[in-house]
Structure 1
Amino acid sequence: MKTFSSAHVTGADWQSVCAGVLDRIDGDNAGDLAFIYLSEDLAADTDRIIDELREQSGITHWVGCVGMGLCSNGRETYGETAASVLVTPFATDDFRLMPPIEHSPAEWLSATERWRNQSLASVAVVHGDPSSSELPDLLVRISDGLQGGFLVGGIASADKLPVQIADKAVSGGLSGVLFSGNITVNTGLSQGCSLIGDRHQIDAGQRNIIESIDGQPALDVFKEEIGEVLARDLRRVGGYIFVALPIAGSDTGDYLVRNLIGIDPDQGLLAIGDYVKPGMEIQFARRDANTARDDLQQMIEGLLQRLPSPPRGALYHSCLGRGRNQFGDDSEELKLIGELLGDVPLAGFYANGEISHHRLYGYTGVLTLFS
């Protein structure tokens, strides 16, 4: 019986990493698809690695990307030559690869239309190029083209070569794999920041600059919400206080976390890592390790309760700001996941942004379970 298996290995070079992967995965009982995440120092060797693993394992299709941190069930690695792999039992007709889509998904949607209609395909695991300014709009266009399709995944993270993998090294836009409706996929998202204060409304702003909130200078509202101690020394808010943009229509109070990238004390302006417009709601948030841990646990417990059967394989895409930077150095984030999931084959990486449904998040963890 074909089944899931996983490997998270380190080595001296790409050849030893490949040998370690092949020693740990069950190629004889594998299907036609595997997910692979590579440390950034292996980016230039991506094609060699995929060719070697394909030839030696017999697994035809490989999907993934490069990450500055990799993870598996109970383990995280950073700054080491490594690979994290999830082998699936899926046959070729269970999925369709998504080549890099940089602007319009129309050509790919047309090429897969007959199969999509027959298989009721609607869930895709995708990986993105951090240099693409079109990613937020592209996620919406692909989801709409899939008639409300659900996308999960992350943005490649690397200092030099943020390679994506779709049977070979690729770049640009989004790439990944779309699953047939016959594949049972469940996913959950966990926030890494806790909300502070109340919701407000942006009155004036342009591009990424917020000028006024609730009829007051934006900076004045910000100071009121963060408290007197931080307001006296705004240098302390970097990496601790963030902007939260509530998602309209969300029945779970979901929000997008964006970086606070600039403050103008003379004009009372705030600059954030997203575009704004008058009428948008805004709230503020702080990084909170305890809240992040509690939220991750609640998300996984709720996800497991919804499953029709126990999970057989998993993918985890988490933010670079999480992991060792928020949960601790000893793989604490993935150890918690392992405690809750049990011994489930899992692969994943630490991303430059996380994808859930048709939105690009930050400081979140996205868990995808196959059952």
Structure 2
Amino acid sequence: MLSRLRQHTGVLEWVGASGVGVLGTRGAALDAPGISVLLGAFPLDSFRVFSGRKPLPRDFPAYAALVHADPLTPDMAELVRDMAHKVRGGRLAGGVACARTQAWQIADGTLIGGLSGVAFDDRIQTLTGISQGCQPLPGSWRVTRAQDNLIEQIDSRPAVEVFREAAGPALGADLRRAVSTLLVGLSEDDADRRQFTARRIVALDVRTGRLAINDSAQSGQSLVFLRRDEAAARADLLRMLTELRNACPRPPRGALYVSCASRGGIMFERDDSEVEMIRETFGDIPLAGFFAAGEIAGDRLYGQTGCLTVFV
């Protein structure tokens, strides 16, 4: 595929990743074969393609980077944070490669493992927005006792007790349904309830009052409970798109969208619902993207998230 792209376009330098579906200007297909391509013309000295085989040069003034990652690489969240520190603007955006068998990355060649992508200097301006498909429930709390992925106490009370209270009478009476509907949002920012990382609740123990999530938690972190369904996902995506459009100094010239493989028609009405909302907000701009096993924005690795990067 890479050889054909080079042969038919004349473009020699490529970055990308495999996914379980693709998104483009006119639509999307999840769990179906396809390819989505975005071509760009940049000054030759304004970007550098990098990977584990070809590290980013120390003397290149990286300001933003589009990245792809291997789903089997250990400590990927740490690798993302480390890469963000190498980028002066801290602007990372991208996703984790995804496949039914072997997940591939492209960075001037095909490869597996680690992190790869393209870094730009500050002449190439990008803006990124994320939508975690959630709406915070009323109230905010603080983790007061945690161990690894177990949250034992919230505001010095048993975590399950606070969870049941936040869920409300109907959901609180059916904890199995509550666990499948609600998530935990963790943050270091007390002031902004939207600056959180959404994490799934994987188990709860009524006897001990502990919650288990699919990430580690630390005492002192701010915590909110989140509702995730189609209505919440649409509202949050519209919020993100509106904020990103308002932040653009001019109409974008192109965009990349990475959506979680658990979104598309699983979360929305159709696989192309997100593309339709992007087009309604930004018009008919060139767009490419894929359905990923994880999404990257800033210095964080997310899940079940939509990540849109626009070139302005």
Q: Given residue 77 of structure 1, which amino acid in structure 2 is its aligned partner?
A: A
Q: Deviations over 1:81-129 (max 9, x none)?
A: 211111111243221012038xxxxx935xx23232xxxx310001111
| Cα distance in 2, alignment partners of residues 250 and 183 from structure 1 | 32
User: What is residue 152 of structure 1 aligned with on the other side?
Assistant: 93
CA distances 1:40-95 after superposition (whole Å, capped 9, x unpaired): xxxxxxxxx10121122211011111111211124110222211111111243221
Give the structure 1 partner of residue 272 of structure 2: 331
Give me the whole-angstrom Cα distance separating, in 2, the residues matched to 1:220 and 1:249. 22
Which of 217, 221, 224 is the aligned partner of 1:276? 217
Structure 1 residue 311: Cα displacement: 1.3
SS in 2 for 1:61: coil
2:56 is the counterpart of 1:56: no
Is 1:90 the counterpart of 2:42 in the alignment? yes
SS at match of 2:51: strand
2:58 maps to which residue? Answer: 113
CA RMSD of aligned residues (A): 2.0
Within-5 A mapping of 1:191-230: 191-230=132-171
Q: Aligned in 2, Cα 1:209/1:252: closer, same or farther, shift over 3 Å?
A: closer
> How far did residue 250 of structure 1 move?
6.8
Structure 1 residue aligned with 2:70: 129
The whole-number CA distance in structure 2 between the counterparts of 1:139 and 1:71 is 24
Per the alignment, residue 44 of structure 1 pairs with none
For the 8 Å contact 1:122–1:181, the answer to whether it is kept is yes
Question: Which has the larger Rg?
Answer: 1
| Letter of the structure 2 residue corresponding to residue 285 of structure 1 | L
Alpha carbons 1:134, 1:173 under 8 Å: kept:
no
Of the three residues 234, 253, 259, the one matched with 1:318 is 259
Opposite residue 153 of structure 1, the aligned amino acid is G
Change (3 A) 1:212 1:239: same
1:265 counterpart residue number: 206
Q: Give, in whole Å, the separation in 1 of the partners of 2:239 and 2:146.
A: 36
Could you tell me the TM-score, scaled by structure 2's length? 0.93
Q: CA deviation at 1:249?
A: 6.6
Report the counterpart of residue 282 of structure 2 in structure 1.
Answer: 341
Name whichever structure is richer in helix by fraction: 1
State the Cα distance separating 1:222 from its structure 2 match.
0.9
Letter in 2 for 1:283: V
Over 3 Å counting, the alpha-carbon distance change for 1:238 and 1:163 in structure 2 is farther
Q: Are residues 196 and 154 of structure 1, via their aligned partners in 2, closer, same or farther at CA, if it must alter by over 3 Å?
A: same
Label 1:131 to 1:91 Cα distance change in 2 as closer, same or farther (>3 A).
same
AA aligned opposite 1:69: G
Alignment check: 8 A CA contact 2:134 2:236 kept: no
Does residue 1:350 correspond to 2:291, yes or no? Answer: yes
Unaligned 5+ residue runs, structure 2? none
- Could you give the per-residue CA deviations for residues 125-160 of structure 1, whole angstroms, max 9, x where no partner exists? 011112223222222212222234210111112232
Specify which structure has the bigger relative contact order, considering alpha-carbon pairs within 8 angstroms and separated by 6 or more residues. 2
In the aligned structure 2, how far is the partner of 1:264 from the partner of 1:66?
Answer: 38
In structure 2, what is the Cα distance between the partners aligned to 1:325 and 1:295?
Answer: 16
Matched, 1:253 2:194: yes
Q: Which runs of 4+ in 1 moved over 6 A?
A: none
User: How far does residue 327 in structure 1 lie from its aligned partner after superposition?
Assistant: 1.8
Q: Which moved more, 1:301-310 or 1:213-222?
A: 301-310
In structure 2, C-alpha distance between the alignment counterparts of 1:68 and 1:274, rounded to whole Å: 24
Greater mean deviation of Cα atoms: 227-236 or 352-361: 227-236
1:76/1:239 CA distance change after superposition, 3 Å: farther
SS in 2 for 1:254: coil
Residue identity matched to 1:311: P
Matched with 2:52 is 100
Match of 1:233 among 174, 177, 194: 174
Amino acid at match of 1:73: T
